[in-house]
């Protein structure tokens, strides 16, 4: 399966039930996607300054970050560009096959910087503030959320930024709380908006249906299967709310070609599932099952499902307490407080574990393992408060590449790291730096 980069997705779903006639249609007129405008490289610019520009415009915090990273070992290589700002987390970075995607805070616009030169390749401006995005090696997708009409799906060529096609979802504007998510397929995409699903392609709409149960997410399971469902962790945290959750459908595996359900999985009252990820090589979906227990307690269990929806293994990584987890290269990486561990996706065996110090704080506030990038088949890059950590998924050993420190301040805490085939970008509270991968 082609590598895919999740860019931005809106959350909080308002879901319906039953199958109906929610329709999509191809719109050949310019009115479809009018809020999305593509620009060529000549009309785009990079926020990153090269060495000469930085010398002409010194910034003590930015330059200290540059000097520290320049001394770090692989995978950190030559510094190509940097930008400074004042504790505003100005720059947002995402990795693409073609290079580095850059947004400025609170802006839906994206500029794609070349993977080799870091020069702008194209820019796309989006006229709706509430939008959703997705991308793969060939396409960049924008789902606009106009306030006065239904969402529109605009598909761009990821190499050039040029529009390939546009589709409008019939009906009116979505409620503000309704979420939108997409999943790219080899010959189109599936979009979920306001509790409805549709497959779209360059030749027009395909199947359509209504979502049901906890249909917050769409997860690819191979080239022709989609896992629909799973609740957001935030919706499972409150013990009282979890205990009152009704029984019902939690997951559904869809045939991406036809939209037909291959199987559904329901959960009893007082429980919910969160999708951790899918390992296509092992043909397993990994979930976290939250269950309300007596006395207001909650038990959280890590489990795997096979291609028929049957549970194949389950473990309690944190003795029943909540944990953060993600699937990376045949392993489930788990963090529970200061304890880190990994499990094999095929049979659930524990591969390794280690503890990190409670102080100083190891990860920035709000850190999520789902954002941890895979460096290669056996290593991930974890952005810590004091260093970038290269963790070996085979045995848990790690190398630490220092970041600047500023006492107990969050000055140099990284809130984002992004990888492209040739680049590594680190965005901290006060500056962002792009280096070649060493």
- Say what percent of the chain tops pLDDT 90: 81
* Tokens at 388, concatenated: 């970038």
Quick one: average pLDDT of 241-247? 96
Kindly report whether the global pTM for this prediction surpasses the value 0.75. Answer: yes
DSSP string computed for 167-221: EEESSSPPPTT--EEEEEETTEEEEEETTEEEEEETTEEEEEEE--SSB--EEE-
pLDDT class for 23, splitting at 50, 70, 90?
very low
Torsion of CA 358, 332, 413, 6, to 10 degrees: -160
User: Residue 52: in which H helix or E strand, if any?
Assistant: helix 51-56
pLDDT, tens digit, for every residue of 357-386? 999 999 999 999 999 999 999 999 999 999
């Amino acid at each position: 399966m082609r590598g895919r980069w999740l860019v931005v997705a809106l959350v909080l779903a308002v879901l319906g039930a039953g199958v109906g006639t929610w329709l999509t249609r191809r719109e050949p007129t310019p009115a479809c996607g009018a809020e999305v405008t593509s620009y060529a490289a000549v009309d785009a610019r990079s926020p990153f300054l090269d060495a000469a520009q930085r010398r002409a415009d010194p910034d003590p915090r930015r330059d200290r970050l540059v000097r520290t990273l320049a001394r770090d070992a692989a995978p950190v290589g030559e510094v190509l560009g940097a930008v400074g700002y004042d504790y505003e987390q100005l720059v947002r970075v995402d990795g693409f096959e073609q290079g580095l995607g850059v947004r400025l805070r609170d802006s839906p616009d994206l500029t794609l910087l070349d993977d080799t030169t870091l020069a702008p390749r194209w820019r796309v401006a989006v006229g709706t503030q509430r939008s959703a995005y997705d991308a793969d090696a060939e396409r960049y997708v924008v789902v606009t959320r106009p306030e006065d009409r239904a969402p529109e799906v605009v598909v761009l060529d990821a190499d050039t930024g040029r529009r390939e096609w546009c589709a409008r979802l019939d009906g009116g504007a979505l409620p503000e709380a309704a979420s939108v998510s997409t999943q790219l397929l080899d010959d189109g995409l599936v979009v979920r908006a306001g509790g409805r699903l549709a497959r779209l392609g360059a030749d027009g709409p395909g199947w359509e249906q209504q979502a049901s149960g906890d249909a917050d997410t769409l997860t690819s399971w191979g080239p022709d299967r989609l896992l629909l469902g799973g609740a957001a962790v935030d919706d499972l945290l409150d013990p009282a709310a979890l205990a009152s959750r009704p029984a019902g459908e939690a997951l559904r595996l869809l045939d991406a070609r036809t939209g037909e359900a291959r199987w559904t999985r329901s959960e009893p009252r007082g429980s919910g599932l969160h999708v951790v990820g899918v390992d296509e090589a092992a043909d397993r979906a990994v979930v976290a099952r939250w269950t309300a227990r007596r006395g207001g307690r909650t038990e959280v269990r890590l489990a795997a499902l096979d291609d028929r929806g049957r549970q194949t293994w389950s473990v309690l990584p944190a003795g029943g307490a909540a944990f953060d987890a993600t699937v990376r290269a045949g392993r489930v990486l788990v963090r529970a407080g200061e304890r880190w561990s990994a499990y094999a996706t095929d049979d659930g065996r524990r591969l390794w574990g280690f503890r990190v110090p409670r102080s100083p704080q190891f990860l920035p506030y709000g850190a999520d393992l789902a954002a941890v990038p895979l460096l290669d088949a056996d290593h991930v890059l974890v952005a810590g408060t004091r260093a970038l950590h290269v963790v070996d998924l085979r045995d848990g050993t790690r190398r630490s590449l220092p970041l600047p420190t500023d006492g107990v301040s969050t000055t140099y805490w990284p809130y984002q790291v992004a990888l492209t085939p040739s680049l590594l970008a680190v965005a901290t509270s006060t500056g962002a730096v792009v280096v070649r991968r060493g």
